[in-house]
Structure 1
Amino acid sequence: MPVTATPPHTHWGPDFAALRRADPELAGLVLAELERQSTGLQLIAAENFTSPAVLAALGSPLANKYAEGYPGARHHGGCEFVDLAERIAVDRAKALFGAEHANVQPHSGSSAVLAAYAALLRPGDTVLAMGLPQGGHLTHGSPSNFSGRWFDFVGYGVCRDTGLIDYAQVRALARKHRPQALVCGSISYPRHPDYAAFRDIADEVGAYLIADAAHPIGLIAGGAAPSPLPYADVVCATTHKVLRGPRGGLILCGARLAGRIDRAVFPFTQGGAQMHTVAAKAVAFGEAATPAFTAYAHQVVANARVLAAALAAEGLTVTTGGTDTHLITAEVTDFAMDAATARAALAACGIVLDTCGLPRAGGGVVHGLRLGTAAATTQGMGEAEMVRIAGLAAAALREGATEPGLREIRSAVRELVSAFPPYPAQPAS
């Protein structure tokens, strides 16, 4: 896809002109993706828009540096400046979350969970985590993932009548199986976990408590969600999603486990750190420590609650009756279609979200929709826009595959998003 026009957003990529000259095909794809992000509603709960400063760090010469090891103890020379960058990232993460220790090197949330397991467990150990059909992550025991192959996972679930975590079941399973670790966290649970209850259960059976806070960590940073730090032995997280940083992982823990965690990240599960990403994490942690981010995090939750209520008013069945977080899950059975068909109809209108497994009140599993408000809130949208989004989404589901109706909704989506560009155009400097 050759590029013939001057990029309208010059500030997010300082050397985009070089890419256009060297590889116009790839430059065209970058611009096409920017166009997609800028003209549709990005409602995937795990996505967000990073700041231009984060993007600048990601595209910096730090990408050139090999830095196996940790600051002051690298296996390569020339690390004096990347050492400083990593120390800044660590110090900012510790201050932001009130942690005694932070490891900022994991390449992803899954890498962070892998390192936590490697630090605390041995192959064959029993682990109690949310069952995959109930909302658990691949790293919570999927047979296709390292977790399900190396460890013996037992899954807990939610109450059928409320959709809330069944803590009595968690305790009963813990007593029966005596796991070495208890994992709290999921990818599609819209309510705050009761970390104190999980800690009490873990203590009763002598288990480590691992909090997988990949989704709520940004809300925690902004004071819009309770922190697992006072309760969990190890907290694993991602730095994208609500936290609005680069794609990557993060591990927080107490000083007692610091050495074990660091050795589990390097050299056990990873080689050299991605120093451009580490520096971008430092930028994101700095941004998350500001009053503006605190206001943002609370607006994310306010928007999610309004969107959930508006979707319910449009006829979708919102699980647990609402949300405490950025995340909403809903059934579409009343629209006479499955979730995959619903997602395709919405995508045709420029409304991008995910499908997910949801427990059915009468037993079994249904496939629902999972969406979030982090990216739209970054764009500046508020409660009024959430009501509008719910109406557009419901209209798309009612239209189904009707092409003229979908085109009209697509036009309305473009009009709405045009008032909230993720990267407002700025003149070249």
Structure 2
Amino acid sequence: MKAKYFMLVLNTAPLTPLADFDLLLIPTCKGLLKTRSKCPISLKQEDPELFNLIEHEKWRQFSSLELIASENFTSLAVMEANGSILTNKYSEGLPGARYYGGNEYIDQIENLCKKRALEAFRLNSEEWGVNVQPYSGSTANFAALTGMLEPNSRIMGLDLPSGGHLTHGYQTDKKKISSSSIYFQSMPYQVDPVTGYVDYEKLETNTHLFRPKLIICGASAYPRDWDYKKLRAIADGHQSYLMADIAHISGLVASGVQNNPFEYCDVVTTTTHKTLRGPRAGLIFYRKVAGQAKADSLESKIDFAVFPSTQGGPHNNTIAAIAVALKQAATPEFVAYAKQVIANSKQLASCLISRGYRLTTDGSDNHLLLWDLKPIGITGSKMEKVCDMMGITLNKNSVVGDKSAVSPGGIRIGTSALTSRGFVEADFKVVADFLNEAVELAVEIQASVPGGSKLLKDFAVTAAESPKIQELRSKVEAFAITFPMPGVDTSNIVKPQ
């Protein structure tokens, strides 16, 4: 009966366009017709509930000040590639050696991405190779470790409270937190508790005791550049691998405005969505050794570690989007962007320091700042909450001397995203004014919490009742919407109701 009903509809009087049939068909026939229709159904038509949520998120991004150091805005071209038909294709394996057929164009796309990755970082293909399949920076790091090391090998990475990343071997006295500490023996190194800079001398001393197979440099919250030459000398003292995780600064490295880890490291990993302004994914670069047997090479070991050891089929749509971002990263315009990111970071640091606030290392060499709020008597989680309510997104973060990552004494601020929206030094003076108002309001709210409670939930309730929150929110919104946003025609953005 269903098929007969379907034929009846197709032979009735002329109804055009085909979408008009939607009004007549029962659900099963409607679904069948859609698969044959020449009129694709948009997200707005298919799922208005989800479409509406996306529109709200679009407005939030447009009307807010994005200061999370690990976020950025991609171009329309990147988003088009990431949302393309390439999402339909399975392609387990490497170009030229897939487990599925029909990959002739996918192979070309992945090879183009690899070529552009080497070009963006000015690397010789005879000396370096790259795997562009990791789903994220975390999976890239674990695959790199899996390729380089045997289980239970010893690694040393910057401690999380010192600004390191979870995947660099973080653990506590009670629990191994990351897979890097579960499957490998980890001994972290730290920053100097006074200066906030990496303590290279203590790191070298500890390598003589621990004798690591791998030293990881790079961080999630470190406002200064790295001395890769010194780290190479330390690693060579024990025939250790040296790996740089440049997830946060890869766009700055590609632009030549930060030190170059490729001169000294064996492996370099990165995400693609922070200062590199691509989609959310990861890359693994590995050094090639002339005359080395392929089975013993980092290329062979790391490629195998990515697939089939730790991942399934690559996300071809994302790889295409990475290729677009890497093409953009190799332009003079991107170099100018990277220089402006650092100029804005230094401007914001100067403004905050001039108001008497304390920053870890007293400033920044890159795209981020660490603001120590302990002298003010407010936690990073409370400052984050107030800022979120007034339309400024940033994150709580451990600073030197903290004992808890859940309720740390500081916040992390990044300049990459707002620089992508066209912010320059003068605009970051306004941002500094907003941040100053936020911290003053946070202190005021904390003093008025009933019963003197220090709990975040009680603080949040009191903050929500403050008329100053909405007043500041309106000021932030009025300022933010005067700037463009990459990838979006802001003239068509309407505030959702």
TM-score scaled to structure 2, two decimals?
Answer: 0.81
Counterpart of 2:222?
Answer: 189
**Alignment match of 2:184 (pick from 151, 168, 174):** 151
Instruction: Give the Cα–Cα distance (whole angstroms) in 2 for the partners of residues 103 and 16 of structure 1.
Output: 35
> Does 1:75 pair with 2:114?
no
Instruction: Give the Cα–Cα distance (whole angstroms) in 1 for the partners of residues 191 and 424 of structure 2.
Output: 31
Instruction: Give the Cα–Cα distance (whole angstroms) in 2 for the partners of residues 342 and 158 of structure 1.
Output: 24
| Matched residue SS, 2:212 | coil
Alpha-carbon offset, residue 264 of structure 1: 1.0
Q: How does 1:12-161 map to 2 (within 5 A)?
A: 18-99=42-123, 100-142=128-170, 143-161=176-194
Deviations 1:292-329 (A, max 9, x none): 10100110000001011112223321110100000110
Alpha-carbon offset, residue 128 of structure 1: 0.9
Instruction: Give the Cα–Cα distance (whole angstroms) in 2 for the partners of residues 313 and 412 of structure 1.
Output: 23
Alpha-carbon offset, residue 427 of structure 1: 7.4
Instruction: Give the Cα–Cα distance (whole angstroms) in 2 for the partners of residues 310 and 28 of structure 1.
Output: 38
> Does 1:212 pair with 2:245?
yes
| Matched residue SS, 2:81 | helix
Instruction: Give the Cα–Cα distance (whole angstroms) in 2 for the partners of residues 392 and 427 of structure 1.
Output: 27
> Which range moved further: 124-133 or 279-288?
124-133
8 Å contact from structure 1 (residues 123, 151) kept in 2:
yes
Instruction: Give the Cα–Cα distance (whole angstroms) in 2 for the partners of residues 368 and 118 of structure 1.
Output: 33
Q: How does 1:237-256 map to 2 (within 5 A)?
A: 237-256=270-289
8 Å contact from structure 1 (residues 88, 282) kept in 2:
yes
**Alignment match of 1:167 (pick from 190, 193, 200):** 200
8 Å contact from structure 1 (residues 314, 391) kept in 2:
no
TM-score scaled to structure 1, two decimals?
Answer: 0.93
> Does 1:295 pair with 2:331?
no
Q: Which has the larger radius of gyration?
A: 2
> Which range moved further: 246-255 or 399-408?
399-408
Counterpart of 1:421?
Answer: 484
Deviations 1:111-168 (A, max 9, x none): 1101110111111111011112111111111312211111111011111221101000
8 Å contact from structure 1 (residues 184, 211) kept in 2:
yes
Counterpart of 2:5?
Answer: none
| Matched residue SS, 1:340 | helix
Counterpart of 1:398?
Answer: 440
Counterpart of 1:327?
Answer: 368
Counterpart of 1:349?
Answer: 390
**Alignment match of 1:382 (pick from 415, 424, 430):** 424
Instruction: Give the Cα–Cα distance (whole angstroms) in 2 for the partners of residues 291 and 275 of structure 1.
Output: 28
Compare relative contact order (CA 8 Å, sep 6+) and give the higher one, 1 or 2: 1
8 Å contact from structure 2 (residues 378, 409) kept in 1:
no
Letter in 2 for 1:86: E
| Matched residue SS, 2:181 | helix
8 Å contact from structure 2 (residues 360, 400) kept in 1:
no
8 Å contact from structure 1 (residues 178, 205) kept in 2:
yes
8 Å contact from structure 2 (residues 156, 169) kept in 1:
no
Instruction: Give the Cα–Cα distance (whole angstroms) in 2 for the partners of residues 20 and 319 of structure 1.
Output: 46
Letter in 2 for 1:395: E
8 Å contact from structure 1 (residues 319, 330) kept in 2:
yes
Alpha-carbon offset, residue 16 of structure 1: 11
Instruction: Give the Cα–Cα distance (whole angstroms) in 1 for the partners of residues 266 and 430 of structure 2.
Output: 42
Instruction: Give the Cα–Cα distance (whole angstroms) in 2 for the partners of residues 62 and 194 of structure 1.
Output: 40
Counterpart of 2:453?
Answer: none
| Matched residue SS, 2:157 | strand
The gaps in structure 1 that reach 5 residues or longer are: 1-14
| Matched residue SS, 2:150 | coil
Q: 1:212 to 1:16 in 2, by over 3 A?
A: farther
Alpha-carbon offset, residue 17 of structure 1: 7.3
Letter in 2 for 1:343: E
Letter in 2 for 1:169: K
The CA RMSD measured in Å over matched residues stands at 1.7
| Matched residue SS, 1:355 | strand
| Matched residue SS, 2:187 | strand
Alpha-carbon offset, residue 397 of structure 1: 1.3
Letter in 2 for 1:240: H
Instruction: Give the Cα–Cα distance (whole angstroms) in 2 for the partners of residues 112 and 160 of structure 1.
Output: 30
| Matched residue SS, 2:399 | strand
Deviations 1:340-396 (A, max 9, x none): 111101111111001111113xx8675310010000000000001111101111101
Instruction: Give the Cα–Cα distance (whole angstroms) in 2 for the partners of residues 178 and 98 of structure 1.
Output: 33
Counterpart of 2:459?
Answer: none
8 Å contact from structure 1 (residues 40, 350) kept in 2:
yes
Instruction: Give the Cα–Cα distance (whole angstroms) in 2 for the partners of residues 16 and 282 of structure 1.
Output: 27
| Matched residue SS, 1:182 | strand
Letter in 1 for 2:77: A
Deviations 1:394-424 (A, max 9, x none): 1011112362222222112112111113133
| Matched residue SS, 1:206 | coil
Counterpart of 2:257?
Answer: 224
| Matched residue SS, 2:198 | coil
8 Å contact from structure 1 (residues 192, 225) kept in 2:
yes
Instruction: Give the Cα–Cα distance (whole angstroms) in 1 for the partners of residues 278 and 432 of structure 2.
Output: 27
Alpha-carbon offset, residue 426 of structure 1: 6.0
